[in-house]
Amino acid sequence: MTKLTLSSHPFLLGFDQLERLMERTAKSGTDGYPPFNIEQTSDHSFRITLAVAGFGQADLSITVEDRQLLVRGRQEPVDEGRVFLHRGIAARQFQKSFVLADGVEVGEAAMENGLLHIDLARATPETVVQTITITKR
């Protein structure tokens, strides 16, 4: 049986990059920690909000690598001399990734009440009409 891919169809020329993007999205972490929301704030902007209670600004990093937004959190252990009778607050590291479409830019990031807000904006593409001249050979 032959695997059907986007790049194997004769009318879908140049879509191999889309296929790689879909594979990368499928491989990205499906871990539910930390919980997050994605909301549309206008026709061309979005906001990702992650619940990062217990993390400070110095514990978090936000990077964009090859159209992939990576949010990492790592807390340094401060349990020296503390005796816990019950420990229900997770203090684990995390990495959350979001694949960004072409034209989506990361704006600002802000912490508020244990929530990390990351604003994204999508540039409106200009409509380009190109006329191709036919030459005689």
At residue 81, the pLDDT reads 83
What is the tens place of the pLDDT at every residue in 72-97? Answer: 999 887 767 888 898 887 678 999 99
DSSP 67: T
Sort strands 60-65 and 45-51 into parallel, antiparallel or unpaired: unpaired
Overall average pLDDT of the 100-117 stretch: 94
Instruction: Write the CA distances from 6 to 3, 18, 23, integer angstroms.
Output: 10, 8, 12
Instruction: Write the CA distances from 87 to 45, 73, 79, 80, integer angstroms.
Output: 39, 19, 11, 14
The mean predicted confidence, pLDDT, of the chain is 85
Lowest mean pLDDT among 12-16, 68-72, 103-107, 111-115: 12-16
At residue 61, the pLDDT reads 97
At residue 123, the pLDDT reads 86
At residue 1, the pLDDT reads 52
Residue from 56, 52, 57, 44 nearest 96 by CA: 52
The C-alpha atoms of residue 60 and residue 97 are separated, in whole angstroms, by 13
Contact 78, 86 (CB under 8 A): no
What is the tens place of the pLDDT at every residue in 32-66? Answer: 789 999 999 999 999 999 999 889 999 999 999 98
More confident residue, 10 or 29: 10
